[in-house]
Amino acid sequence: MKTLPIADCVWEIPPSEKPGMRVPARIYASEALLGQMDQGVFEQVTNVACLPGIVRAALCMPDGHWGYGFPIGGVAAFRADTGVISPGGIGFDINCGMRVLRTRLTEAEVRPRLRELVDALFAAVPSGVGAHGFVRLRDDEFREVMRDGSGWCVRHGYGWPEDLAATEGGGCLPGADPEQVSTRAITRGIGQLGTLGSGNHYLEVQVVPPDGVHDAAVARAFGITGPGQVLVMLHCGSRGFGHQVGTDYLRRFDQAMRAHGITVPDRELACAPFRSPEGQAYFGAMTAAANTAFANRQVITHRVREVMGRIFGRDPRELGLEVIYDVCHNTAKLERHVVEGEPLDVVVHRKGATRAFGPGAPDVPAAYREIGQPVIIGGSMETGSALLVGTAHAMTETFGSTAHGAGRTMSRAQAKKRVWGETLIQQLAARGIVVRAASKSGVAEEAGFAYKDLGEVVDVVHRLDVSRRVVSLRPIGNIKG
């Protein structure tokens, strides 16, 4: 497939390369990262370019890798009036996302009690296959969570009012419709609020390394004062509830597409016109799942505050355990962007891609309005993570989107063949990183060598000016599913 360089770190596959492509496919990557992308990325991003109503181009971020339907790292905008919505462009883990909290603690204060802290967090935040949380809900209460997201948590004592302003969409996206959610989805997810899941999901205690501050002014706006400061990061989504919503509607769209006369190059790209009854039903159910994901991260935040308050013998407010930001990387949202010089309502699908709105953009909290929205890019438990900030250029280049992680370079099975989970846990302990995991094999699957170089991914999005580097973070404690 012809992949042409059109600018620094921008590669384009023209529509002539595959029958049915309506727009070009555009991949953002350095030459090294492009070389590490598997063939599935190129097939999948060009498949996305075939979907009805797509505007400008099908995009893939520098952490892109082979997914299902869209590539992971995929971004596409579809006209709200004539375009489609596709569960395969969002993923089953609806509103999988990242949240980061700052603290007033330093590594010197935390290090002596690190093992105790990690053990306590592991006990307080259930993880692994089939895990259930401590929040007991009736059906009608769960429907309130679907409508109100993090707001429900704050009203019920699982958060602070200011957490909402530090969450994308205020922790509650508009348009959630619990009536479009199946009983099976409710049964599957009602007991899972406050759980981490497995795979690449984690709860991590992190520290700003000596050379970790890249933009001191923006870092200060994030409440980051300098090296040695401890932060807490979490990565998880809507758990079984969102997974079942995705399953239900993928199955439904697979059958409904025929009635709408739509054919797709990959069955996982099953879709429906956004304005059709099926499209609106899915949007309502998907948004309900997105709001439960915000609530899930909010309840985990509450647990983190409880645990850290207990371990360090101080009120969580005194510890400064405030949310810097919470951002989604698996959603479809109705947004207005300038397309061909005109404002246009589009349904922006981000699958393994982070919203990165720039200064002054709508929905950027007041505290960040002049600098842009905080962006959280999660790395592996070995390599660390990064905080960036959204840019004005992202709004015109990538529909306000950037990378979400390091991106895998090898399969989970390949990673497990290279290292035992127990061995890796010991190696990390020797480097000062304490790991607790529900599954030892799951630890091996998430080894640092299974991922691309996070620094290279961050460097590319920084060079492209679709988000700017602010702080690098290094893990010292990790809880895995």
Partner 1 sequence: MGRHVFLDSVAVADCAMEVVGDDLDDLFATAARAVAEVMVDPATAGRAHERAVELAAPSLDLLLYDWLSELIYLKDSEQLVFPEVEVHVSGKAPCRLAARLRGDVLDRERVALRADPKAVTFHQFALEPHEGGWRARVVIDI
Residues that bind partner 1 (CB under 8 A): 38, 40, 65-69, 72, 88, 91-93, 128-130, 132, 184, 187-189, 192, 197-200, 239-240, 243-244, 246-247, 250-251, 254, 266-268, 270, 408-414, 438-442, 445, 481
How far is residue 349's CA from residue 432's CA, in Å, rounded to a whole number?
A: 38
**How much is the CA Rg of the chain, to the nearest whole Å?**
21
Angstrom distances, CA of residue 307 to CA of 39, 298, 304, 311: 44, 14, 5, 6
Sign of CA dihedral 48, 50, 55, 56: positive
78 contact partners, CB below 8 Å, separation of at least 6: 51, 52, 53, 54, 55, 84, 85, 274, 346, 347, 349
Asked whether 128 and 439 are in contact (CB, 8 A), the reply is yes
Handedness of CA 265, 18, 406, 302 (dihedral sign): negative
- Three-state DSSP class for residue 371: coil
Token output for 10:
């921008």
Amino acid at 355: R
Cα dist from 287 to 197, 238, 328, whole Å: 20, 11, 12
Written as one letter, the residue type at 454 is L
Cα within 13 Å of Cα(160), Cβ side: 16
Nearest CA to 404 out of 67, 6, 48, 88 is that of 67
Asked if residue 385 lies in contact with residue 377, where contact means CB atoms within 8 angstroms, the answer is yes
> In a 3-state reduction of DSSP, which class is residue 66?
strand
Q: Write the CB contacts of 339 (distance below 8 Å, at least 6 apart in sequence).
A: 55, 56, 77, 346
DSSP code of residue 138:
-
C-alpha to C-alpha distance for 215 and 237, rounded to whole angstroms: 29
296, HSE (Cβ side, Cα atoms, 13 Å): 40
- The answer to whether residue 65 is catalytic is no
Q: Where are the beta strands (DSSP E) in 18-147?
A: 25-28, 58-68, 70-79, 84-85, 97-106
| CB-nearer residue toward partner 1: 130 or 277 | 130
* Cβ distance to partner 1 smaller for residue 15 or 199: 199
Amino acid at 248: D
In 125-274, which residue ranges form alpha helices assigned H by DSSP?
139-148, 150-155, 161-165, 183-189, 216-221, 239-259
3-class secondary structure, 202: strand
Give strand pairing partners of 334: 347
Q: Provide the 10 A C-beta neighbour count for residue 390.
A: 28
In angstroms, what is the minimal distance from the CB of 65 to partner 1?
A: 6
Nearer Cβ to partner 1 (160/249): 249
Catalytic sites, residue numbers: 404
